[in-house]
Amino acid sequence: MARSFDTGLSIPKRTLVRNKVIELLQPLLKGGSYMRGDEPMAGFLRAIVKVPGTLQSFNYEDNDSGIKLLYALLLGRTPSIGVALGDRVMKPAGVGGARGFAALDVHLYFVNNHQRSMMARLESDVVSVGDEDEEIEADDEADPGIDVMLECAEELLTAERLDTTQPGAVVKHLELKREEDVYTGRQHCIWMQVWEVGVTSTINKKRAITQRIEGFNTTLPTPGETDPQAEVDFVTEVSET
């Protein structure tokens, strides 16, 4: 039996947001394509993975726990993006708490391997467009660098609505809040984008009320009536407790 929720959703709000963000990023995967202005561009990501928590939440053991977890999920695949959900800040928006608004944080982790040099991987799309080195062949699906990855994700996600058809919850548009340098080493770098999405949900305030039948009131034909079509009315009284 499928689980359902008072909001009318068949899946939790967090699951819905996580899956929709990954869906919107799909054009960046190898084999996909996206538009930059009027020009179609080839996808370059080797993986988009779900991260079970924010990197900060795994740092209770040491400062590198979250980074090690992300690398384990990627299995060496770069360039890649990890998607995690962070805090949800509640703001009541209705009588008795039945309707509420919340701002949910979405964390994107961009992982890049410095295959040529640290600055070449940060600054420009040199491999995909070719450069002055004649031995380097242009490759539309090559790793474009962190700066390009951040820019492409911003172009795909900005102002995108994650609406659902169910009336109990409305997931509004994505809004980019900040970018952070998580880790820069000799081999890899990780950058983070933090997005915010507004989620409005309505909880059934009568979910704890049970209904019981108190009795039946029956109306029968009076004696002497012979009309075979005489109506018989049943009136049911229902009380809520």
Residue 156, both tokens:
């795909």
Which of 81, 103, 101 shows the shortest CA–CA distance to 91?
Answer: 101
Band of residue 147 on the pLDDT scale cut at 50, 70, 90: confident
More confident of the two residues 56 and 217 = 56
For 2-48, write each residue's pLDDT tens digit. 666 666 667 788 888 999 999 999 999 999 988 777 888 889 999 99
Residue 192, both tokens:
């983070």
Q: Which domains does the chain have, with CATH numbers?
A: 13-202 (3.30.2000.10), 211-240 (no CATH)
More confident of the two residues 211 and 133 = 211
Least confident of 40-44, 52-56, 60-64, 65-69: 60-64
The DSSP element (H or E) to which 106 belongs, if any, is strand 99-113
pLDDT at residue 178, as a whole number: 96
| Average model confidence (pLDDT) across the chain | 77
- Which residues have a Cβ under 8 Å from the Cβ of 38 and sit 6 or more positions away? none
pLDDT at residue 8, as a whole number: 62
